[in-house]
Amino acid sequence: MTDPQIALMMLGIFILIIFLGFPIAFTLMALGVAFGYYAYFNPSRMWRSYDRAVEAGADNWELWHTWASGLFNNRIFDLFVNQTYSVMANEVLTAVPLFLFMGYIVERANIVDRLFSTIYIAARRLPGAMAVAALVTCALFATATGIVGAVVTLMGLLALPAMLKARYDTGFASGVICAGGTLGILIPPSIMLIVYAAASGVSIVQLYAAALLPGFLLAGLYLVYIIGRSLLQPSVAPKPRDDEVGDVPVARLILMVLTSFLPLAVLIMAVLGSILFGLATPTEAASAGALGGLALAAIYGALTWQRLREAVYLTMKTTAMVCWLFVGSWVFSSVFSYLGGEHLITEFVTGLDMSPLTFLIMAQLIIFLLGWPLEWSEIIIIFVPIFLPLLPLFGVDPLFFGILVALNLQTSFLTPPMAMSAYYLKGIAPPHVQLVEIFRGCMPYLAMVLLAMVVLYNVPGIVFWLPEMIYGS
């Protein structure tokens, strides 16, 4: 077998082990070390000190010792340690635990309830007001926390019963929450974009600037759909009777906005603004965000010892999960490309003679399909890097590609069979809410994600305008 064929075998074994459900990070590490040992195997280097010891007439123990250390005299071990260390000292990934911590604190700050009722009252004259409020709350809260599951379950417990009580259509009400909660992985400061930046080498600051308008575009499309559907088909979102709305004086409404909507919005904008305008590195901004989150939780009287502990330990777990995946992936991929696997893929794809558009569609389709069984972390850290070396061949900007991927991965939370958002919602919804209805409610949002991707492809300015305006081209 030639080396590139062995590289393909390595990839094949890896995919098989994923199917068997073994922790992916360690699978990658072990495969990288084993195949790397073969790739860097160098007998003369291995036996050098042993031969010297034999010539010097060393005793048996000494001989055994040099023989054993000869076994480990393989460049893969240096490579392994260096790759691991480069994850440990990665200046982009340092922002990950801080943003996670901020998210875990904000999600425990007793803030969603206030946020939802305030936005509902502010929006109560709009068609489908409760759905609009749910979407805006989801988007804002998901942006601040970045944890999809938490947003969907919390909103499923707060907004879903309220909407059902107001005789909203079950599918319509569920779809809003599922799709709104998922926005958190796209709208900056999202953790997924940091992970993409670390995996691709694209500047995180540029990525954040590039993702802002597409994020608003998608949220805007959702909003237009909700209001439009409520207007055209009032039965899905019946207009509340006047006595149901109640009358809230303007002064009180302003006070509610000041105490619930504003602090969170200011926190997000301060974090994002200081990153975009170069006042602070993403890591510094994230730590400021974490401190701000702590202050917010304290003000809302939610900063208990128990909650702080939870946030700290969960941050540890999730950080370790993401970063060990990086360790495994970097060891694996450097051995894979050393064996010529990457070159083989490049040659194969070049041989297909695709147009850039066909390539983009193919790549996004594969990522869409991977989103069914896998989560975004695995897709971004392990599979997206396979596409990255191909981008220059087709003249696709990795920044642009990253935004398309971020849009695309919205669908992985919403499409059956492994739609995390839908399952979370089903888990906490009243028993009469059927999973099928939730899926039906999610479908229009899939269409809108697709529409947003088509729009971005045709008007790439939506992605590039802001980064170019702030940082020049």
The closest alpha carbon to 158, from 355, 434, 429, belongs to 429
Which one-letter DSSP state was computed for residue 238? P
91 binds another protein per the rule CB under 8 A: yes
Which one-letter DSSP state was computed for residue 258? I
- Grouping H, G, I as helix, E, B as strand and the rest as coil, residue 430 is coil
Which one-letter DSSP state was computed for residue 339? T
Indicate the residue among 161 and 460 with the shorter CB distance to another protein: 161
- Among the listed ranges 121-129, 147-155, 335-343, 397-405, the one in contact with another protein (CB under 8 A) is 147-155
- Of the candidate residues 233, 317, 369, 447, the single one contacting another protein (CB under 8 A): 317
- Of the candidate residues 53, 112, 186, 204, the single one contacting another protein (CB under 8 A): 112
- Of the candidate residues 1, 21, 44, 352, the single one contacting another protein (CB under 8 A): 21
In three-state form (DSSP H/G/I as H, E/B as E, the rest C), the secondary structure along 375-418 is CHHHHHHHHHHHHHHHHHHHCCCHHHHHHHHHHHCCHHHCCCCC
277 binds another protein per the rule CB under 8 A: no
- Among the listed ranges 280-288, 403-411, 440-448, 454-462, the one in contact with another protein (CB under 8 A) is 280-288
Given CA atoms 316, 319, 323, 328 in this order, what sign does their dihedral have?
Answer: positive
Least distance to another protein, CB of residue 409, Å: 15
- Of the candidate residues 39, 132, 134, 152, the single one contacting another protein (CB under 8 A): 152
126 binds another protein per the rule CB under 8 A: no
Indicate the residue among 152 and 221 with the shorter CB distance to another protein: 152
Q: How far is CA 7 from CA 18, 40, 345, 438, in A?
A: 17, 13, 10, 42
Contact 414, 421 (CB under 8 A): yes
- Of the candidate residues 35, 50, 101, 222, the single one contacting another protein (CB under 8 A): 101
Indicate the residue among 221 and 422 with the shorter CB distance to another protein: 422
93 binds another protein per the rule CB under 8 A: yes
- Of the candidate residues 312, 443, 459, 470, the single one contacting another protein (CB under 8 A): 312
CA angle 359, 448, 402 (to 5 degrees): 40
- Of the candidate residues 170, 230, 318, 364, the single one contacting another protein (CB under 8 A): 318
Residue type, 276: L
**Which residues, numbered 322-361, are part of the site for another protein (CB under 8 A)?**
322-325
**Which residues, numbered 430-469, are part of the site for another protein (CB under 8 A)?**
430
The closest alpha carbon to 408, from 460, 372, 358, belongs to 372
- What is the distance between the alpha carbons of residues 386 and 384, in angstroms, rounded to a whole number? 5
Which residues, other chains included, contact 397 with Cβ-Cβ below 8 Å and sequence gap of 6+? 391, 464
- Of the candidate residues 63, 126, 265, 310, the single one contacting another protein (CB under 8 A): 310
Least distance to another protein, CB of residue 303, Å: 11
**Which residues, numbered 366-405, are part of the site for another protein (CB under 8 A)?**
373-375, 377-378
- What is the distance between the alpha carbons of residues 360 and 367, in angstroms, rounded to a whole number? 11
- Among the listed ranges 124-132, 210-218, 351-359, 423-431, the one in contact with another protein (CB under 8 A) is 423-431
